[in-house]
Amino acid sequence: MTSSIILKSAVDSELKAIAQKVINDERITPEEGIKLYETGTLGFLGSLATLVRTRKNKNFTYFNKNIHIEPTNVCVFSCKFCSYSKDYKHREDGWELTIEEMLEKVRSYPQGSITEVHVVGGVHPKMDLHYFAGLLKEIKNINPLLHIKAFTAVELEYMFRKAKMTNSEGLQYLKEHGLDSIPGGGAEIFDEEIRNKICADKCTADQWLSIHQAAHQLNIPSNATMLYGHYEDYSHRIDHMYRLRNLQDKTNGFQTFIPLKFRNKDNEMSHLEETTQIEDLKNYAVARIFLDNFQHVKAYWPMIGRATAQLSQNFGVDDMDGTIDDSTRIYTMAGSEEQNPTLSTQELVDLISQNGFVAVERDTLYNHLRVYENASVAN
C-alpha cells in the first residue's frame, strides 16, 4: 500500500500525524503508541507495519533449523500464568532430564541438519551454573558449529545469585563454556504492579533488563519477549516496549521482539479469556511500528498456531522461529493450537510463501543460509 493510501485511510488527524511520522521513518512517542492501539483500525495498522517491515527486511520471512531442549519443568518459582512447571516439592509429577539424555538428543540430529540448540526450562535448585556450563561444553564437543541459545534471564538470575557471581561474571563464565546468545523469555510484563500480580517471586523487570544489558556488553546477543492478553492494558504494553526500546538505544544487542500470547489452560489465571486473533494481529502491528530500533519481530508459531502466524506476516512479522520439534511443551501444556509443534522445512517454506513472502533460512544471527525464491525445498 502506498503512503498516500495509508494517510487517506487514517480516521483522524492524530492518526494521520502518526502515519506521517512512520512514513518519514521518525520515532513515535509512547502516547502515540497507545493511540494506535486504541483507535487504529486493523487495516491501517497492518499497512503501517508492512511499510516498516518492508523497509527493514524487504519481502523476506526468516526461519531456522533448530531444536528445543527443556531440561526440566521443575521450578522454584510459581508464576500464576504458567501451565508448564511443577513445584520442587512435587517434582515427581514433572521431568528432570539427565545430561546424557540431553546430549543424546543433540547427537540424534546429523551434522548440518540443525544450526541451533535452544535450551530453556524450569528453575531447578539442583541444576546450577556449573551444571549447565558442563552441558554447554559437552554440546560444543559434539558439534562446535552449533549455536547455543540458552537460559532466560529468570534462569540466569537464579544461577548467578546461587553462584555468588555478578551478571557479567556469570555470563562470561557461560560464554567461555559455549553460550552464544540468550533468549527473551521471562520478561512477561515489566509494569511492577501487574508483574507482582502474575509472577511476584521471579526476577524483577530491572533485573531482567540488567542481565540483557550485561549480555550485550559481552557481545552476547539476545531476544526480548512480552506476555500479553491477561491483566495488562495498552499502556502497560507500551511501557514494556518503551523500556526495551530505550535499552536497545544503548546497546543494540536485541535481535528480535517476540510477543507471547497468554494461554489459559490449566493455570491459576484460567478464568481470563484469551485475546482474539484480531487483537493478536493488532499487537504485532503496533510492536513493529513502535520498536523502530529492533530489526525483527517474530511470531512464535507453536504458541499462536500456523494460521495466525501466516497472517501475521501482513502485520509486521518477518520471522517464524524455526522447525523446532515436538519436545517444546511450554505452550502445548497451556492449550495452544499446536499440540505437536514440529514443521518440516518444506512446510515452513509453504507457510511463508503462500502469503506472497520469500522464505529465508537463516542462522541464529540472521545470516542468510538459503533463499527459497521458488518456494521449493527440493530445487
Q: In the CATH hierarchy, which fold is given to the domain comprising 61-277+300-307+319-372?
A: TIM Barrel (3.20.20)
| Phi, psi (degrees; rounded to nearest 5) at 261 | -80, 130
* Predicted pLDDT of residue 5: 57
| Cα–Cα nearest to 223, from 6, 4, 64, 44 | 64
Q: What is the pLDDT of residues 193-235, one digit of tens each?
A: 999 999 999 999 999 999 999 999 999 999 999 999 999 999 9
Confidence of residue 334 (pLDDT cuts 50, 70, 90): very low
How many C-beta atoms surround the C-beta of residue 88 within 10 A? 17
Q: Identify the CA nearest to 338 among candidates 377, 372, 307.
A: 307
Name the DSSP letter for residue 97: -
pLDDT bin (cut points 50, 70, 90) of residue 86 is confident
The pLDDT score that the predictor gives to residue 222 is: 98
Q: Considering the chain, what percentage of its residues have pLDDT values greater than 70?
A: 90
**Mean of the pLDDT values across residues 95-113?**
94
Q: Computed from CA positions of residues 236, 242, 248, 254, in that sequence, does the dihedral angle turn out positive or negative?
A: positive
Grade residue 377 by pLDDT with cuts at 50, 70 and 90.
low
Mean pLDDT across 269-290: 96
- CA nearest neighbour of 161 among 150, 152, 170: 170
For 4, the 3-state DSSP assignment is helix
Q: Give the per-residue pLDDT at 373.
A: 85
Q: For residue 32, what are the contacts with CB-CB under 8 A and spacing of at least 6? A: 14, 18, 21
Q: Which residues of 92-126 are buried (b: 16+ CB within 10 A; e: fewer)?
A: eebbbbeeeebbebbeebeeeebbbbbbbbbbbee
Average pLDDT over residues 285-301: 96
pLDDT at 315 over 70: yes
pTM of the complete model: 0.92
Query: Residue 128 pLDDT > 60, yes or no?
Result: yes
At residue 54, the pLDDT reads 98
Residue 16 has pLDDT above 50, yes or no: yes
Alpha helices, DSSP H, located in the chain = 3-9, 13-23, 30-39, 42-57, 99-107, 129-142, 153-163, 167-176, 192-199, 205-217, 234-251, 277-290, 301-304, 306-312, 345-353
Q: What is the CA radius of gyration of the chain?
A: 20
The residue ranking higher by pLDDT, 249 or 348, is: 249
pLDDT at 136: 98
- Residue 375: what pLDDT? 67
Average pLDDT over residues 256-283: 94
pLDDT of amino acid 332: 45
Tell whether the torsion through CA atoms of 79, 81, 86 and 90 is positive or negative.
Answer: positive
What is the average pLDDT value for the chain, to the nearest integer?
91
- Helix 234-251 vs helix 30-39: angle between axes, to the nearest 10 degrees? 140
- Is 9 a residue whose pLDDT tops 60? no
Q: Is the model's pLDDT at 1 over the cut of 80?
A: no
pLDDT at 330 over 70: no
How confident is residue 271, by pLDDT bands cut at 50, 70 and 90? very high
- pLDDT of 378 reads 61
